[in-house]
Amino acid sequence: MARRSSVILILLCAIPLASCWSLDRPAAESTAMNAAPSVAPPTPLAGKWTLATPGAGSCVMNFGAQPDATEGTIAPAGGCPYNFFTSRKWSYITGGLVIRDHKAETLAQLSPVGPDTYEGRTSDGQEVTLSRQ
């Protein structure tokens, strides 16, 4: 009887803890990207940029930031492909440029390929190019 009571007690304690466990991959990836140290981008990012995706179109994105900033705002113009119309924030980490939506979820991570061009992929794997206008 005492053994059965111990098992029941363990199960009752384990159930609330199990609800804290999450296998939510995007949250884990977002946490990993947030852990990367911020660094200043090779060139200031403030200004107008064109975001383009093969076969899905392009749009203008206005990046806001102070000089030497490691993060800033994004104001996308209409017609952005995929869910880039929800872009609101950018940050620059050692791995490159990260674009986040209004919920702070990562939309894309891009690497510099020139002074005014970045290439990378969305969190769903689509190719993305960002170039200064």
Structural domains in the chain, sorted by start: 33-132 (2.40.128.10)
> Could you give the percent of the chain with pLDDT greater than 90?
59
Lowest mean pLDDT among 7-21, 28-42, 74-88: 7-21
Rounded-to-integer distance, Cα 56 and Cα 61, Å: 16
3-state secondary structure string, the chain? CHHHHHHHHHHHHHHHHHCCCCCCHHHHHHHHHHHCCECCCCCCCCEEEEEEECCCEEEEEEEECCCCCCEEEEEECCCCCCCHHHEEEEEEECCEEEEEECCCCEEEEEEEEECCEEEEEECCCCEEEEEEC
Lowest mean pLDDT among 10-19, 66-75, 104-113: 10-19
Q: What is the pLDDT of residues 82-121, one digit of tens each?
A: 999 999 999 999 889 999 999 999 999 999 998 899 999 9
Tokens of 10: 């363990």
Tokens of 53: 């995706």
> Could you give the percent of the chain with pLDDT greater than 70?
73
Rounded to the nearest integer, the mean pLDDT of the chain is 81
Distances, alpha carbon 28 to alpha carbons 32, 33, 75, 85, in Å: 6, 9, 26, 23
What is the predicted pLDDT for the residue at 108? 97
pLDDT at 21 over 90: no
What is the predicted pLDDT for the residue at 9? 46
pLDDT at 10 over 90: no
Between these two residues, 37 and 53, which has the higher pLDDT value? 53
